[in-house]
């Protein structure tokens, strides 16, 4: 991440893999040893319990209606409602470009699902906007369910910490309606004043906000029968975080699992589970088989949604609001489309995935492309190509950044994997 000017970022997402500390590793290894001492073998083949999966698509539903042209006001009301609904939803995704560090710290001679020496201990996800933190979530493996690693070959996650700044959030998502912040030298004062009014998050205007985070884990491996399993979905996790104004402290939503348990308050659950990552068979010697360290990759989808107030605020004079929104949207279309484009750069190494979106200035573009260079290889070049033409095939990461910023579904990024 060195060299990034966080103040120049429109949006950035940083995903860190939490390493398992030695104390937890020792506890896990003791449990593994206990199971082995009772001659409880670990399954060596996942068989029919695994289903080859692909990246789940994020679907954007666009209603189409037959509009009676004689009822202009009715048509405008429906168009306004659709615009309001779009601005009440933000979706963006972050995923591995070349894969994470391996799931285990060393090879195993016990079997492909031996959980000893796990490196993985949950994730830390951060979302930033304009150089300021919007969201931070920390989750770890549920140590109370270590036995499930041996009984079911699955692990579970718990949410330890959540910090969310609703007034810095991605709502209202006006970019979903192609409405950008007006430029002072091009827009009227009326447009600027109206933007300053509608672009601010308000609990009265944006009701029942919810933050949702979904995580999916995929793996590829080869078994003793030389059968190759490619990009198999091992499991998924999901957490819904309802944000109530009364729960804020100094305008910030803060959740601590440790504190909630101590005060006997409800905890936030992470739904879902995941199979442990299979180790690939290593035919070093026929009489002494061993298994590798477990390759995997991840996809995380962040969404924010709310309901607009149908009886107050902008809804009281919806027709004026509709005309202003249309005027500002059309004004935005008249600008130079190239300068309105975005450059999305990816950085992916053993423990961190970074996705950052910039607004390029024509003469600064080469420098910004230089910032994107990383261990992700061609990822930053793909981001630059996608900034103007949303590069085809595996180089479509930039389109994912642009579409996510506008509330549209994030395009599937290239999921290259090391074999």
Residues 377-410: pLDDT tens digits? Answer: 333 333 333 333 333 343 333 334 434 444 444 4
- Check if the beta carbon of residue 236 is closer than 8 Å to that of residue 213: no
Predicted pLDDT at 392: 38
Residues 4-30: pLDDT tens digits? Answer: 554 555 677 777 777 788 887 777 777
Higher-scoring residue by pLDDT: 289, 100: 289
What is the percent of the chain where pLDDT is above 90?
Answer: 30
Mean pLDDT of 301-322: 90
Q: HEC string of the chain?
A: CCCCCHHHCCEEEEEEEEECCHHHHHHHHHHHHHHHHCCCCCCCCCHHHCCECCCCCCCCCCCCCCCCCCCHHHHHHHHHHHHHHHHCEEEEEEECCCCCCCCECCCECCCCCCCCCECEEEEEEEEEECCEEEEEEEEEECHHHCCHHHHCCEECEEEEEEEECHHHCCCCCHHHHCCCCCCCCCCCHHHHHHHHHHCCCCCCCEEEEEEEEEEEEEEEEECCCCCEEEEEEEEEEEEEEECCHHHEECCEEEEEHHHHHHCCCCCCCCEEEEECCCCCEECCCCCCCEECCCCEEEEEEEEEEEEECCCCHHHHHHHHHHHHHHHHHHHHHCCCCCCCCCEEEEEECCCEEEEEEECCCHHHHHHHHHHHCCCCCCHHHHHHHHHHHCCCHHHCHHHHHHHHHCCCCCCCCCCCCCC
Predicted pLDDT at 407: 42
Split at pLDDT 50, 70, 90, the class of 98 is low
Higher-scoring residue by pLDDT: 76, 355: 76
Q: How far is CA 52 from CA 124, 155, 234, 237, 393, in A?
A: 27, 19, 9, 17, 21
Predicted pLDDT at 146: 86
Predicted pLDDT at 249: 92
pTM of the model: 0.67
How far is residue 160's CA from residue 267's CA, in Å, rounded to a whole number?
9
Residues 219-267: pLDDT tens digits? Answer: 999 998 889 999 999 999 999 999 999 999 999 999 999 999 999 999 9
Predicted pLDDT at 393: 40
Q: Give the residue from 219, 313, 235 showing the smallest Cα distance to 271.
A: 235
pLDDT at 375 over 50: no
| Average pLDDT along the chain | 73
pLDDT at 130 over 90: no
How many degrees, rounded to 5, is the angle at CA 127 between CA 197 and CA 200? Answer: 5
Higher-scoring residue by pLDDT: 375, 353: 353
pLDDT at 268 over 60: yes
Mean pLDDT of 152-171: 93
17-26, 38-47, 121-130, 296-305: range with lowest mean pLDDT: 38-47
Residues 101-111: pLDDT tens digits? Answer: 789 989 998 88
Predicted pLDDT at 351: 64
Predicted pLDDT at 331: 65
Predicted pLDDT at 221: 92
Mean pLDDT of 316-331: 85
pLDDT at 96 over 80: no
Residues 283-304: pLDDT tens digits? Answer: 776 678 899 999 898 888 999 9
- Check if the beta carbon of residue 387 is closer than 8 Å to that of residue 66: no
pLDDT at 419 over 60: no
- Check if the beta carbon of residue 206 is closer than 8 Å to that of residue 390: no
């Amino acid at each position: 991440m060195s060299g990034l000017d966080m103040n120049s970022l429109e949006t950035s997402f940083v995903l860190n893999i939490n390493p398992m500390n030695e104390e937890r590793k020792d506890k896990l290894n003791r449990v593994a040893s206990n199971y082995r001492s009772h001659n409880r073998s670990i399954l060596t083949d996942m068989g029919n319990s695994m289903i080859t999966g692909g990246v789940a698509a994020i679907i954007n539903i666009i209603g189409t209606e037959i509009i009676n042209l004689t009822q202009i006001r009715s048509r405008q009301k429906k168009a306004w409602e659709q615009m309001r609904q779009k601005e009440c939803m933000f979706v963006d995704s972050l995923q591995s470009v070349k894969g994470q560090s391996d799931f285990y710290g060393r090879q195993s001679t016990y079997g492909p699902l031996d959980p000893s020496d796990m490196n993985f201990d949950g994730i830390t996800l951060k979302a930033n906007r304009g150089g300021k933190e919007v969201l931070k979530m920390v989750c770890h493996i549920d140590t109370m369910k270590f036995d499930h690693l041996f009984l079911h070959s699955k692990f579970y996650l718990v949410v330890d910490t959540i910090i969310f700044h609703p007034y810095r959030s991605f709502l209202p998502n006006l970019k979903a309606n192609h409405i950008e912040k007006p430029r002072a030298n091009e827009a009227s004062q009326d447009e600027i004043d109206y933007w300053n009014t509608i672009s601010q998050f308000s609990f009265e205007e944006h009701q029942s906000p919810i933050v949702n985070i979904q995580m999916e884990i995929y793996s590829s491996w080869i078994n003793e029968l030389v059968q190759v399993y490619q990009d198999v979905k091992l499991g998924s996790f999901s957490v819904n975080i309802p944000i109530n104004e009364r729960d804020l402290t100094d305008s910030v939503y803060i959740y601590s699992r440790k504190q909630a348990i101590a005060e006997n308050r409800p905890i936030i659950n992470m739904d879902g589970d995941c199979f442990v990552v299979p180790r690939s068979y290593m035919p070093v010697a026929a009489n002494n088989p061993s298994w590798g360290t477990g390759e995997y990759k991840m996809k995380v989808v962040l969404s924010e949604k709310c309901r607009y107030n149908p009886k107050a605020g902008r809804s009281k004079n919806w027709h004026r609001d509709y005309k202003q929104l249309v005027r500002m949207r059309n004004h935005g279309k008249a600008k130079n489309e190239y300068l309105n484009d975005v450059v999305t750069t990816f950085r992916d190494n053993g423990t961190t995935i970074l996705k950052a979106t910039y607004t390029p200035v024509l003469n600064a573009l080469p420098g910004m492309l230089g910032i994107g260079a990383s261990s992700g290889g061609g990822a930053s070049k793909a981001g630059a190509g996608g900034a103007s033409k949303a590069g085809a095939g595996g180089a479509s990461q930039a389109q994912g950044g642009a579409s996510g910023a506008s509330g549209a579904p994030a395009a599937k990024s290239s999921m290259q994997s090391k074999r």
